[in-house]
Amino acid sequence: MTSSSDRDWICVPTDLRPPSVPKEWFAAFPGLQIKEKPDGSWFIKTKEKYTNSAKPGIKLTLLARGSHFEPAGLLRLHQLIPITDSTPREQLESFAEARQRQASLRAEEEPFWSRFVGDLQLSLDVDLENKLREFQSEGQGSDSLWIAEVDVLLSRRLAFMRMLFAQKHTRDAVEAVDFVGFPAARALMVHSIAGFTMYFSPLLLLDSPWVSGLNVARPSATLIRLLASPVPGRPRGWTDQLDSFKPSYAGSTIWPESTVPTTSLETRETVLRWWTTRLSELLWMVTDPTRYTDKSGNYDPSVHLGVTLTVERIFVTAVEIMCQKTKDELLRKILLFDFLDLLEGHGMGNYEKNLSYQRQHALWSSLKQSLPEEVVVAFSPVIDGAFEALLHLEKGFWSTANRTSDNKLLISRRNGTGQDAISLDRAKGEYLRILRNSTHGFKDLADDPRRLSYLANHTAELHNNLADLVWWYLIRILATPSEIFPSTGNR
């Protein structure tokens, strides 16, 4: 261990430590260094802060291309954590039998994607390689298969955090050191607890409603199959009969079928490598407990939990927005409000900043200079389309009578005593916030001249691509993960 100043260590107060958890486990389980001072206080520091070892993160390995399996990939496959470590064999077999019974009741053959995901999730380790070989012999001949292994320390640190969070707020003793037994907030971060598979989903939904790959969760790993050519994510042709009843609200309409995406498999593989590297950095930062302290320098599991839940919710909301493209555009816009609320609540910019075309487009233009060419090629169409939708939102301010000579919008003040001149770039954010707040109803509008003025000046038509702004913010978070962390304590 190299020398380190005390400021590199953070204190875990005595009242946070469950009495049934020994000090040795307290340090070793989440991969921490621990030292005890004469007064009984414990201080911790993550290993990567005092050794030259690599940060815990995600390791991406090519397993197969078409039916050809790579020796290095097979080696990694057979070294994965056994599935029976997390799910009893009897339960896996019961689930598999239930799937078979369900499939036998269907009139049509189970589609490839369903068999791929369902079978590989439940396969015993001894059967996994053969199952993968069977699936790689199907479909498009050049589909590539990857293993994204997640360092177990990432999940363990989140368990460590939930344990101390529960101890702080419930004083409920922990009866065992098995992290599965830590129940606090577990269902709110299920994707972070179980392999982080969902964090790869956006990459496979880049061309939604087309799907460019499949991902399957295994213990501390994700199997990712990149398709040689994207396939429709839902049946093409007629819409469901229920779609005829869908309301058209705020410009939400069913889109015509989109054309087949043309991004090459080689480009998408490069993007997968970039995504994995950036996601690894992000998750390392999120799970590092030494980043979360109060003003006294003590570890604060409440702050740690807040950041973790926010990051997972950001990705969950973004994935749902992508899944609903061309299916439920009204829901996508409502979820966009949730996404913008998450950014604002976490100190990553308010509506006015995050919906400013000038500000965000300039940031995107600058960020592109530091991104690999393949990443820019892959993400530019969807991000540029979202920025065009921002301009469309600005054009919705139809009234030319309420404009100044420099094209600012005249909006009534809340007290009704006059008007303010607002730039159209800023007005978009204020207007969209009004629509967001309408989820509580419009009844109180009559008492607010400013909101009434905004409603009167805009058509309320929102382009469907507006919800794709989530892509821009995901790329920003991955490229510059330090943006997601609030300033806490002395860190």
Tell me the domain boundaries of the chain.
397-460
Sign of CA dihedral 94, 95, 99, 100: negative
**pLDDT (tens digit, 0 to 9) for every residue of the chain, 491 residues total?**
334 455 678 888 888 887 777 888 888 888 888 888 888 888 888 877 777 667 888 999 999 999 999 999 999 999 988 888 777 778 777 877 777 777 777 778 888 888 899 889 888 889 999 999 999 998 777 899 999 999 988 988 888 888 888 888 887 655 544 444 577 777 888 887 767 899 999 999 999 999 999 999 998 899 999 999 999 888 765 567 777 677 776 665 555 556 778 889 999 999 999 999 999 999 998 998 888 888 888 899 999 999 999 999 999 999 999 999 988 888 999 999 999 999 998 888 899 999 999 999 999 999 999 999 999 999 999 999 999 999 999 888 988 888 888 989 999 998 888 899 999 888 999 999 888 887 777 777 777 888 889 889 999 899 999 999 999 999 999 999 877 665 444 44
Beta carbons within 10 angstroms of residue 414's beta carbon: 13
Tokens for 122?
């439940």
Asked whether the beta carbons of 303 and 488 are under 8 A apart, the reply is: yes
Report the candidate in 32, 58, 8 with the shortest Cα–Cα distance to residue 192.
Answer: 58
Strand 68-69 to strand 42-46: parallel, antiparallel, or no bridges (unpaired)? unpaired
What is the Cα Rg of the chain in Å? Answer: 25
pLDDT at 221: 92
Tokens for 3?
């020398």
Q: Look up the pTM and report it.
A: 0.90
Asked whether the beta carbons of 147 and 61 are under 8 A apart, the reply is: yes
CA triple 108-109-111, angle to 5 deg? 115
Tokens 């269907």 belong to which residue? 106
Report the candidate in 356, 343, 378 with the shortest Cα–Cα distance to residue 483.
Answer: 343
d(CA 270, CA 287) in angstroms, rounded, equals 26
Beta carbons within 10 angstroms of residue 336's beta carbon: 21
CA triple 320-325-329, angle to 5 deg? 95
Residue 148 pairs in a beta bridge with: 60, 222
Asked whether the beta carbons of 197 and 215 are under 8 A apart, the reply is: yes
